[in-house]
Amino acid sequence: METRGRVLACITAMAALGLPALGLAAQCPADDHKGAETCIPANSAMNKGLNRSPGTNDDVSKGYAPGDLWQAGGHVWRATALTPGAAQWAAVRTSNAPADTFGPHALFAGGPTRMVSAYSGPAVDIETISGGQTVATTLAIRPDGMLDTATLTRALAARDAGTFATVTRVYDQTGHGNHLVATPGHHVVHIGAVQVSGQETLSWGENNGPGGFVLPQTLKVPANSFFFGTTGTYASSNSGYSAFPVPLMLGQKGQEFKVFMGSYTLDGFVHVADMRSPDLRTDMIISNDPAAFGLSATPGGYRLENGNNHVVLGGALPEGSFAGGYIGYNADGGPWFEQGRNTGQWTGIVIADQAATAEQEQDFEAAAAVAGDHMPQLRDAVVAIGDSRTEGYGLSDGTNWPYIMQRYARYRSYNFAVSGATTKQMLDMVPAAEALAGHPGHKVAIVFGGFNDHLHQISTGETVHNLGQITSRLKKAGYRVAFLDEALTQGAPRKALASAVEAGKIPADIELDLFSSGEPLFDVLDQTKWLADTTHPNQAGHDIMARNVWQNIVGFLGK
């Protein structure tokens, strides 16, 4: 199938806004991002006109609510009144770093970016392999507030081929000395592999292997009053397989708090676990575009935020405290490890020993938006539902095709795919997509799956029925749906699914065949684009998928 090209028009630079610049973050280059290091999202000039100050028509009909934030050009506004055609947005004047809002209650703040105003000093310790020998290097936050990327560049240039720079320590910028140390024997978090808005990240990924950071026992928070926040991105909105991994665990196994995305049913919502229950589902769905994520524990339950989305999970929390814990993926810091399905690319982390007030939540979000060029005002959304070929099996640092597709434009991105998912499990991902459909803006869903069904004795007829249900429900919810035909991997029901689309049993708006003769991914034996298992695209294959899918769905987003 031939793909349709589209030239992305850049929006002219913003007019002067009459507000002080607040240390605008770097951005990815306005090109195809073909360098050695992945950088997302597209330069903010390529975002369908939202790289501007908000106007009177940016009102409730566009889905904005009082208190919503808008960031463009290093300036932030807050919605104060949203009368149709007469919306009012007030300028937010802040020069704070994300952790400043918590003052002395911030017990840890760190990462590759400045999280505490005026901080300069060590940011992270890294290890590289050069000539077969381990080389330790410290990367610092310079007095100008920027990471010493020159030292990182030299370390990366000197490393052995096929190796990474792994982070062994993340320094606490608050002055409390609560540095994070990599799990012994599991130094797997990379730096220098993924940039978000031009900033280096702490990047996890399925192929990195299990590991994360241990929280020191000196980091102690009340069980019913704490805050955890991250800046940067998550490369997946879902996880699974025993509800791992966890971005955060506080306390010790058996008496702990955890937050994780998805659960045993692969539902795509954010879940928490505490002394009351091992699995409590919230109504939060985390996005995969640049945004801050925050969670506050309060005596009356949990409040969660992700960009302009805010949800509450009620229920009295018991008193007590948590000391130490674990940050990362694939493990809970104990002797047992699981291969995780979710990934993070974080520019910063904050932990405080008090819950954030509504004002503090907004201050954190506003500071993070400026520091990381987050655009919480984005309306259009792209959702992916599928299995390992979409989740990113075998990839380092979470750079799956839905994630890197953000190179081409800025929008809300959600990837619900999970390795090993059958079409029965893909059906469980649909309610999260339906919940997102209530938000204004163009909405596109991409469905790619079916291969795993035959491994679980699910008949081809049931596979077609399930994919038909998924597609129908997405269309009913307001999505334009793209259906990806199966690859030529042995066992894939390629002909049956293509016939079902033709017969209208899978009622997609567009059928994409990226694997037919003449297409770049036709030959599953080509190990320049496929893993040796002939089932999963490698990184080059995901790059090809991102480009081809984008060229075919861009018209649905009105670009």
Instruction: Specify the pTM.
Output: 0.93
Residues of the chain with CATH 2.60.120.200: 98-372
Domain 98-372 classified CATH 1.20.58.220? no
CATH for 381-557 is: 3.40.50.1110
- Token readout for 224 is 């019913």
Determine contact, residues 39/198, Cβ cutoff 8 Å.
yes
- Token readout for 390 is 């979409």
Q: Cα-Cα-Cα-Cα dihedral of 520, 525, 529, 533, to 10°?
A: 140
389-408: pLDDT as tens digits = 999 999 999 999 999 999 99
Q: What is the dihedral sign for C-alpha 252, 256, 261, 264? A: positive
Residue 274 confidence (pLDDT): 93
Length of the chain: 559
Percent of the chain beyond pLDDT 70?
A: 90
What HEC string does 93-145 produce? Answer: CCCCCHHHHHHHHEEEEECCCCCCCCCCEEEEEEEEEECCEEEEEEEEECCCC
Q: How far apart are CA 254 and CA 252, in angstroms?
A: 6
- Closest by CA to 424, choosing from 452, 443, 398, 403, is 452
Residues of the chain with CATH 3.40.50.1110: 381-557
pLDDT over 90 at 95, yes or no: no
7-27: pLDDT as tens digits = 222 222 233 233 333 345 678
Q: Higher pLDDT residue, 247 or 342?
A: 247
Q: How confident is the model at residue 199 (pLDDT cuts 50, 70, 90)?
A: very high
The residue type at 459: S
- The SS3 assignment for 321 reads strand
405-426: pLDDT as tens digits = 999 999 999 999 998 999 999 9
